[in-house]
Amino acid sequence: MSQTVSNQGTVLIVEDDRNTAALVSTYLERDGFSTMVIHDGGQAIEAAAACKPVFVILDVMLPGMDGWEICRTLRKTSDVPVLMLTAREEELDRVAGLAMGADDYVVKPFSPRELVERVKAILRRSRPASPLPVTVFSFAGLELDNEKHRVARDGHPIMLTSSEYKILQALMSSPGKSFSREELLNQCYPQGEVVIDRVIDVHIGKLRQKIEDDPSRPRYIQTVRGHGYRFSDENDDEEG
């Protein structure tokens, strides 16, 4: 393991290729981040608990524990942003990574400068730029607190990724309003990153698994056929 000190927070890099890990670490440190680098996936969860990173960069193919399993395990207790690295570029792999809670997906070989910019963009998205007029949205036991950046149902905290939080925040801020997939993509990727529409469906699916009693019959997030999604309003609750 190697670690340096800075003031932007620590980025945990889990990558078994030492040259790639060193290159990514160097570029991140130039931008004011500290880094912790490990080369064995089996040490990733312990390292994350020890250094409490602001961001995690995960290679998919790792000894000890692969990146998919690490991401899945992290998501049980943490909403730290995660970016996956892989040599494979099939769409199903990208969707699978996002479904497991990753915030972004980069295919090797990649530009280390672009990677750092992606890290910074994701961190900006995960931190609200300005306080919203309404700090708490609530409906039928589900509560989103903008000030605390916290989501809970019936008082029990729910861990969301930054993209899931942004989508739920947009939907709950305008109950009853129909959002297109493009509008929700703009909430998640305000810098204009190129992503596929299916990413929103993946995020919505994960959100429903976390907040709904029965994801197949959602109470909170409704599908608007041919358009996108909406959050239930008070009239829906009265009718139900």
Q: Say whether both 229 and 158 belong to one domain.
A: yes
Q: How far apart are CA 116 and CA 51, in angstroms?
A: 19
pLDDT at 183 over 90: no
Question: Which 3 state secondary structure label does DSSP give 116?
Answer: helix
Q: Tell me, what's the pLDDT at 238? A: 46
Q: How far apart are CA 100 and CA 206, in angstroms?
A: 8
| CATH number, residue 183 | 1.10.10.10
Q: Tell me, what's the pLDDT at 5? A: 41
Q: Tell me, what's the pLDDT at 104? A: 86
pLDDT at 50 over 60: yes
pLDDT at 240 over 50: no
Which tops the pLDDT comparison, 127 or 227?
227
pLDDT at 197 over 70: no
Q: Tell me, what's the pLDDT at 233? A: 84
In a domain, 14, yes or no: yes
Domain edge (last residue) among 67, 94, 126: 126
Over residues 111-160, the pLDDT tens digits come to: 999 999 999 988 887 765 554 466 889 999 999 998 888 999 999 999 99
Q: Tell me, what's the pLDDT at 90? A: 60
Domain edge (last residue) among 71, 96, 126: 126
Q: Say whether both 63 and 152 belong to one domain.
A: no
Over residues 62-116, the pLDDT tens digits come to: 999 998 899 989 988 888 999 999 877 665 566 666 777 788 888 888 999 999 9
The least confident of 56-60, 175-179, 197-201 is 197-201
Place of tokens 């990413």: 199
In a domain, 15, yes or no: yes
Q: Tell me, what's the pLDDT at 35? A: 94
Q: Say whether both 6 and 68 belong to one domain.
A: yes
- Mean per-residue pLDDT for 222-233? 91
Beta strands 34-38 and 2-3 are antiparallel
In a domain, 131, yes or no: no
Place of tokens 């729910």: 158
Which tops the pLDDT comparison, 163 or 197?
163
Q: Tell me, what's the pLDDT at 191? A: 55
DSSP notation for 47-104: HHHHH--SEEEEESS-SSS-HHHHHHHHTTT----EEEEES---HHHHHHHHHTT-SE
Over residues 6-43, the pLDDT tens digits come to: 467 899 999 999 999 999 999 999 988 999 999 999 99
Q: How many domains are there within the chain?
A: 2
Q: Tell me, what's the pLDDT at 28? A: 94
Q: Tell me, what's the pLDDT at 43? A: 93
> 134, 158, 161: which is closest to 146 by C-alpha?
134
- Domain carrying residue 215: 136-239
Which tops the pLDDT comparison, 151 or 233?
151
